[in-house]
């Protein structure tokens, strides 16, 4: 029987939650998983606990699963990125018919998405690579969705994607919360939009994750300064984050940080141990931040703070080496700073300014990428669909939307007057915090590299004149002159050049 509005393959947590989200919006959804046990467990769970259970149909045979979906079929994949995605597509293809659409909701590498889109459209099918952000809760009650693919395929998917995406208030731009099983949010502005063709959606999701990495690292540096330089405990620091979440720094990541820091260890019955102090200081990564940094290197886009955030995780992972080195390599040992209130305020400024630079880098990277990969990205809309549902959701993103709505061709976010003024207002504190951290020997790689980006970008003159001369000296790589038109290249025979005779 052909009854399902949409199908979904891959019933790990993200797949299950997205299926329930779709069913809650009144759609009938067919689900399939490589192991049928998982499908049975899921549908049994739905029957027992989910108001929308009758709209979730489980299938054992992939052929029956595909047949149950109305044409042109829409089949969402939530399987592991990479080989598993290709294997799932290969398993589906023999059962598909003309114009059927596969939607990949995994964290796929955008070049894989370009390849898959090309291969499937050559066979008369369509392929959408859709970024899905917001973790398990987002998938269940409203993720941020970043689809890329043909306009025709998008037109077919759009009503469902708009329904299930996170919603924000049309006036304040704040995420509308409060959905429960069977009761999704009604109204509001949907956090999805057609991002562009082929791999554009997955590319934008990748940059979202690169920004997520640096956003998290900056927060960790602020925490580290309060802990080490000001001698504050986790709970006290959590209160500062709680306060920051009421102002211009308000965001999901600041909110969860405040919450994390105020948790005590359930293993300690006295309630005197902060839980975060029990978590080992080594960070994992699945690769999307690294892809962002690697692509920035490839395109020559200066996303140094994003790369720094990836390296900071790599350094954190060398736990044993760091422990051994700490007994050998000595740094300064200063007493804690006592001007607590002022320094906390300065750290907040450092965090905000660095965050502006990080987002400027992410958007600058997308500006370069759209030229390279032939996309037309709407940056105001991208910031808008990140307002709700995703991990980097923040009030701040409305300012980014406003900046691109004022000037779609904005060269760099830092040049928008709101951000220029914010950087001007905060920079003294920002510099002071980095100087203090340096004196105390506390690593702040993300604060520091964001400041280097700001100082580099605003420098009409950089020492690259000397660098270019060095390149010409040893490799005849040529140089341009300040007193000649751009594009004229010179080379000199360096050993024969006249030298000033030093009188010293």
Whole-number minimum distance, CB 145 to ligand 6PG, in Å? Answer: 11
For ligand 6PG, which stretch binds (CB under 6 A), given 115-123, 278-286, 413-421, 481-489? Answer: 278-286
Indicate the residue among 92 and 310 with the shorter CB distance to ligand 6PG. 310
Asked if residue 468 lies in contact with residue 479, where contact means CB atoms within 8 angstroms, the answer is yes
CB 212 → ligand 6PG: shortest distance, Å? 5
The answer to whether 127 and 153 are in contact (CB under 8 A) is: yes
- Residue closer to ligand 6PG by CB (options 229, 391) is 391
Residue 483 per-residue DSSP state: T
Query: Between 54 and 314, whose beta carbon lies closer to ligand 6PG?
Result: 314
Q: From the list 390, 410, 423, 426, which residue makes contact with ligand 6PG (rule: CB under 6 A)?
A: 390
Is 205 a residue of the active site? yes
* Residues written for the chain: 504
Which residues in 281-310 contact ligand 6PG (CB under 6 A)? 284-286, 288-289
CB of 133 or CB of 190, closer to ligand 6PG: 133
Query: Tokens 């839980």 map to which residue?
Result: 275
The three-state (H, E, C) secondary structure of 378-430, written as one string: CHHHHHHHCCCCCCCCECHHHHHHHHHHHCCCCCCHHHCHHHHHHHHHHHHHH
Contact region for ligand 6PG (CB under 6 A) — 133-141, 353-361, 378-386, 418-426? 133-141
Which x/- pattern, by CB under 6 A, does the window 197-216 give for ligand 6PG?
A: ------------x--x----
Q: Which of these is catalytic: 167, 205, 355, 399?
A: 205
**What residues from 397 to 416 belong to the interface with ligand 6PG (CB under 6 A)?**
none
- Kindly tell me which of 107 and 175 has the beta carbon lying closer to ligand 6PG: 107
Residue 194's CB is within 10 A of a number of other CB atoms, namely 22
Burial class (CB in 10 A: 0-12, 13-18, 19+), 339: exposed
In the chain the first and final C-alpha atoms are separated, in Å, by 94
**Candidates 50, 117, 212, 308; catalytic one:** 212
**Shortest Å, Cβ 216 to ligand 6PG:** 8
133 half-sphere exposure, CB direction, 13 A CA radius: 31
Answer for which of 306, 391, 403, 437 binds ligand 6PG (CB under 6 A) is 391
Q: Report the residue number, 30 or 132, with the smaller CB distance to ligand 6PG.
A: 132
Q: Does 226 bind ligand 6PG (CB under 6 A)?
A: no
Using the rule CB under 6 A, which residue among 16, 133, 192, 449 binds ligand 6PG? 133
User: Which of these segments, 75-83, 92-100, 130-138, 252-260, binds ligand 6PG (CB under 6 A)?
Assistant: 130-138
Smallest gap from residue 381 Cβ to ligand 6PG (A): 18
Binding region for ligand 6PG (CB under 6 A) out of 166-174, 263-271, 280-288, 394-402: 280-288
Closer Cβ to ligand 6PG, 120 or 390, answer by number: 390
Catalytic-residue membership of 212: yes
Q: Mind giving me the DSSP string for 74-92?
A: EEEE-S-TTHHHHHHHHHH
DSSP string computed for 88-150: HHHHHGGG--TT-EEEE-S---HHHHHHHHHHHHHTT-EEEEEEEESHHHHHHH--EEEEES-
Instruction: Kindly list the distances between the CA atom of residue 353 and the CA atoms of 93, 110, 217, 381, 458, in Å, as whole numbers in the listed order.
Output: 49, 30, 14, 23, 14
Is residue 481 a contact partner of residue 474, using CB atoms and an 8 Å limit? no
Size of the site for ligand 6PG (CB under 6 A): 13
Pairing of strands 6-9, 126-133: unpaired
Query: Nearest-CB residue to ligand 6PG?
Result: 133
Residue 285 or 398: which CB sits closer to ligand 6PG? Answer: 285
Interaxial angle between packed helices 340-373 and 445-457, expressed in degrees from 0 to 180 and rounded to the nearest 10: 60
Please state the φ and ψ torsions of residue 433, each to the nearest 5 degrees: -65, -45
- The sign of the torsion formed by the CA atoms of 259, 261, 267, 268 equals negative
Closest by CA to 373, choosing from 114, 69, 166, is 114
Could you say which of 15, 105, 106, 134 contacts ligand 6PG (CB under 6 A)? 134
* φ/ψ (deg, to 5) at 69: -100, 135
Determine the interface stretch with ligand 6PG among 25-33, 109-117, 132-140, 189-197 (rule: CB under 6 A): 132-140
Residues 85-114 that bind ligand 6PG (CB under 6 A): 107
CB of 367 to ligand 6PG, least distance (A): 21
Tokens of 220: 């960790």
Q: How far apart are CA 459 and CA 446, in angstroms?
A: 20
Binding mask 30-59 for ligand 6PG (x = CB under 6 A): ------------------------------
Using CA atoms, how far residue 170 sits from 129, 289, 294, in Å, is: 27, 31, 36
Nearer to ligand 6PG among residue 107 and residue 384 (C-beta): 107
Binding site for ligand 6PG (CB under 6 A): 107, 133-135, 209, 212, 284-286, 288-289, 390-391
Catalytic annotation, residues: 205, 212
């Amino acid at each position: 029987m052909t009854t399902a509005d949409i199908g979904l393959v891959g019933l790990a947590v993200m797949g299950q939650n997205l299926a329930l989200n779709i069913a809650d919006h009144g759609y009938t959804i067919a689900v399939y998983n490589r192991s049928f046990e998982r499908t049975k467990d899921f549908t049994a769970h739905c029957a027992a606990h989910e108001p929308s259970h009758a709209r979730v149909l489980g299938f054992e045979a992939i052929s029956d699963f595909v047949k149950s979906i109305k044409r042109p079929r829409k089949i969402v994949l939530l399987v592991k990125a990479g080989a598993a995605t290709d294997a799932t597509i290969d398993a589906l293809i023999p059962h598909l018919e003309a114009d059927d659409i596969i939607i990949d909701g995994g964290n796929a590498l955008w070049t894989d998405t370009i390849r898959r889109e090309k291969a499937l459209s050559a066979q008369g099918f369509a392929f959408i690579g859709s970024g899905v952000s917001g973790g398990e809760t987002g998938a269940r009650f409203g993720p941020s969705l970043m689809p890329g693919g043909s306009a025709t395929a998008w037109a077919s998917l759009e009503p469902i994607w708009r329904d299930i995406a996170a919603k924000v208030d049309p006036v304040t731009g704040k995420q509308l919360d409060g959905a429960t099983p069977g009761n999704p949010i009604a109204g509001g502005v949907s956090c999805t939009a057609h991002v562009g063709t082929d791999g554009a959606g997955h590319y934008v999701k990748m940059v979202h994750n690169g920004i997520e990495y640096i956003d998290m690292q900056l927060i960790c540096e602020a925490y580290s300064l309060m802990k080490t330089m000001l001698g504050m405990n986790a709970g006290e620091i959590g209160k500062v984050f709680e306060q920051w979440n009421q102002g211009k720094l308000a965001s999901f990541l600041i909110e969860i940080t405040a919450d994390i820091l105020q948790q005590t260890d359930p293993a300690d019955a006295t309630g005197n141990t902060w839980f975060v102090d029990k978590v080992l200081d080594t960070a994992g990564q699945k690769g999307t931040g690294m892809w962002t940094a690697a692509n920035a290197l490839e395109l020559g886009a200066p996303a140094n703070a994003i790369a720094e955030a990836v390296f900071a995780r790599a350094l954190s992972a060398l736990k044993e080496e760091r422990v051994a080195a700490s007994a050998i390599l000595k740094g300064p040992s200063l007493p804690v700073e006592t001007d607590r209130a002022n320094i906390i305020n300065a750290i907040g400024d450092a965090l905000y300014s660095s965050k502006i630079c990080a987002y400027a880098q992410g958007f600058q990277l997308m500006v370069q990428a759209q030229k390279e990969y032939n996309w037309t990205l709407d940056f105001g809309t991208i910031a808008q669909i990140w307002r709700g549902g995703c991990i980097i959701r923040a009030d701040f993103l409305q300012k980014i939307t406003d900046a691109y709505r004022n000037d779609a061709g904005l060269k760099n976010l830092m040049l928008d007057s709101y951000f220029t003024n914010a950087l001007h207002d905060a920079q003294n504190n920002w510099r002071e915090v980095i100087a203090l951290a340096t004196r105390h020997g506390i690593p702040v790689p993300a604060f520091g590299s964001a400041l280097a980006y700001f100082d580099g970008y605003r420098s009409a003159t950089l020492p690259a004149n000397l660098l270019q001369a060095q390149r010409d000296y040893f490799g005849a790589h040529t140089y341009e002159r300040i007193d000649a038109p751009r594009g004229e290249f010179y080379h000199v025979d360096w050993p024969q050049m006249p030298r000033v005779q030093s009188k010293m």
